[in-house]
Chain A
Amino acid sequence: MKSVTKAYRPISWPMKGAGGDTGSWRTHRPVVDKENCTKCQICWVYCPEAVIDRNESTIDYRYCKGCGVCAKECPTGAISMIKEE
């Protein structure tokens, strides 16, 4: 019988983008207004995608799905959801 172990190993490895470039799912883009940001890290803790930098409050748009949770939870209203072109 032909061995299948070499041809097909159903094993995956941890990697970003396992669901693709999920940034393409976005209809709205969260944009942080640095002036109003107190660096409280609330957006960081709730972002399901782990795409917010906790120190800089910058967002990795390659994977951000545009869910809007960060904008909803930001206590100073520093994040706006801008419609993608």
Chain B
Amino acid sequence: MTTSIKKLPDTEQVLSGNGACGGCPATMALRIVGKALGSNAIMLLTPSCSVASMGMTPKLAYNWPCINITFATAGSSASGITHALEIMKEKGRLQGELPTVFSWVGDGGTYDIGFQALSAAAERNDNMIFFCYNNEAYSNTGVQRSGATPRGSFTTTTPTGKRQPKKNMALLMLEHNIPYVATATVAYPGDLYDKVVKAKNIPGMKYIEILAPCYLGWQFDMPETVQMSRMAVRNGAWLLWEAENGKIDFNNPSSQIISGKKKAEPVNEYVMKQGRFNRLLKGSDAEQRIAEIQGDIDHQIAFMRERAKITI
């Protein structure tokens, strides 16, 4: 059973009055992550909205030791810290439970710029949790395309809508044979919380990706952050799953879509609600472009259904 809202801990690791936009999905997600990790953790951040949200020196909006790192070291910086901690413990210079080392990185930092060092850290199975909060663009620099931007989406670098589908990053991480991979999103805080608690108690490399609908990049109304996240799950654009030691399990309600108990809702309403897509409707090829978006979703559902059957 998923942890209910009322059972979530009081701990607030994200402090009020931070620098994020109102309704920010990254902050929303990080708050729940904080409840699962508690204060005994070390946070690493690559340049992103979550860095801009930290606030102005000498104040800091996150209640952890935070280290700002470069994109290229998204994976390796956490490796260095986690190894150092282990050695300090071995030498008796650190007592008690070791802090959880976690990277908090955007989709640009994960899918594109930081991928090499992340892949290497995963191959070494270094002890950390790597979070990707995925707002499907480089939001902090004014919304450019990333490898996570879905086909059809307008960004400042795809002025006629992106022509390529997004990568399946969580699956790529799974294929590194790491002990734990999960996907989550802000509309399902109990699901996210449970996954982070699980990851915290597994040694080695853990990858958790959180879909973070950003009103500014996706061009919907600010109060609708959670609605958009829920909609993405209901239409199958985002699948909730986790994999312990390589075995994929889908979580509710994605599990019902995968098993065929429930039909995925058509993507149309999701597309209409977001300026990044609904500009397509003005073109003469609108129908075909929307069909492409639906096609990518259908393909991913079908593909993941089959991929999950491989358990060897």
Report A's interface with B, CB cutoff 8 A: 10-22, 25-26, 40-42, 44-51, 54, 60, 62-63, 65-69, 71-73, 81
Contacts and interface: CB of A to CB of B under 8 A. Distances in A.
A68 B224 CA distance: 8
Interface residues of B, number: 42
Given A12-B57, A72-B223, A67 B22 contact: yes
B5 A41 contact: yes
Interface of B: 5-6, 8, 10, 12, 14-25, 27-28, 31-32, 53-64, 66, 186, 189, 222-227
Given A18-B19, A22-B17, A49-B18, A68 B58 contact: no
A22 to B, nearest CB: 5
Contacts, number: 129
Given A12-B58, A16-B16, A48-B25, 17 more contacts: A13-B60, A14-B63, A14-B64, A15-B60, A16-B17, A18-B55, A19-B17, A19-B18, A45-B189, A48-B225, A49-B18, A49-B22, A60-B16, A67-B23, A69-B222, A69-B225, A73-B226
Contacts of A69: 23, 28, 222-223, 225-226
SS of B interface (majority): loop
SS of A interface (majority): loop
B28 to A, nearest CB: 4
B55 A12 contact: yes
Contacts of A10: 57
A68 B24 CA distance: 11
A12 to B, nearest CB: 4
